[in-house]
Structure 1
């Protein structure tokens, strides 16, 4: 039996270069990678429940009370690092614009489990997917 193709999704708020946090749904996990590195990017794995709790907290602007394995921290004036807490690194590095686009996509409902689909390679119907909406500050 063939494995379904993984469909990577970026925020509809990504800029013209398309560099952003990429998220995909596999049968047993939510996967995250850096679009700048494409297939060469390390991939972070989260369970569906772990991911949904994270995007719910991010959408509600409640990261101050979030305690979970998805770690996204600003390290300098213009770059961020994402990794899985408790796991050996690799980590992913993103610039401010990439994180802002990702957060805007989260708040637009583009990265919920429902929007990502069932991990069958088809993805879901994310609100705003494919739009050229302008990015406003998160």
Structure 2
């Protein structure tokens, strides 16, 4: 995860999206692309809460692991 110390992120200025597989109560994460090419992530139930920022390689590593089932034990 990348730390952004000098830059503040205003979540309301980003174009957030979430998976079409998210449940009706909104229990999911949302992602948004930053102008720098980094990827922001937040809890959809707390849109004004913490925003985590990841590099593209970090997102790629997570998605590859998810697609191959590495995190299936964490699902319901």
Query: What SS does structure 2 have at the residue aligned with 1:57?
Result: helix
- Which of 42, 58, 82 pairs up with 2:66? 58
Displacement of 1:14 in angstroms is: 1.2
Displacement of 1:62 in angstroms is: 3.0
**Structure 1: any 5+ residue segments left out of the alignment?**
64-73, 75-99, 101-136
Distance 1:41 1:52 in 2: 24
With a CA cutoff of 8 Å and minimum separation of 6, indicate the structure with the bigger relative contact order. Answer: 1
Displacement of 1:54 in angstroms is: 1.1
Q: Tell me the TM-score normalized by structure 2.
A: 0.66
Residue correspondence of structure 1 range 16-95 to structure 2 within 5 A: 16-28=24-36, 29-38=38-47, 40-63=48-71
Greater share of residues in strand:
1
| Count of paired positions | 61
Structure exhibiting the larger radius of gyration computed from Cα positions: 1
**Structure 2: any 5+ residue segments left out of the alignment?**
1-12
Query: What SS does structure 2 have at the residue aligned with 1:49?
Result: helix
Q: Tell me the TM-score normalized by structure 1.
A: 0.39
Note if contact 1:31-1:45 (Cα within 8 Å) is conserved in structure 2: yes
Note if contact 1:21-1:34 (Cα within 8 Å) is conserved in structure 2: yes
* Cα shift readout 1:1-59 (whole Å, capped 9, x = no counterpart): xxxx4211111011122231111111221111011111x21000111111111111111
Query: After the TM superposition, which parts of structure 1 deviate over 3 Å for at least 4 consecutive aligned residues?
Result: none
Distance 1:35 1:14 in 2: 10
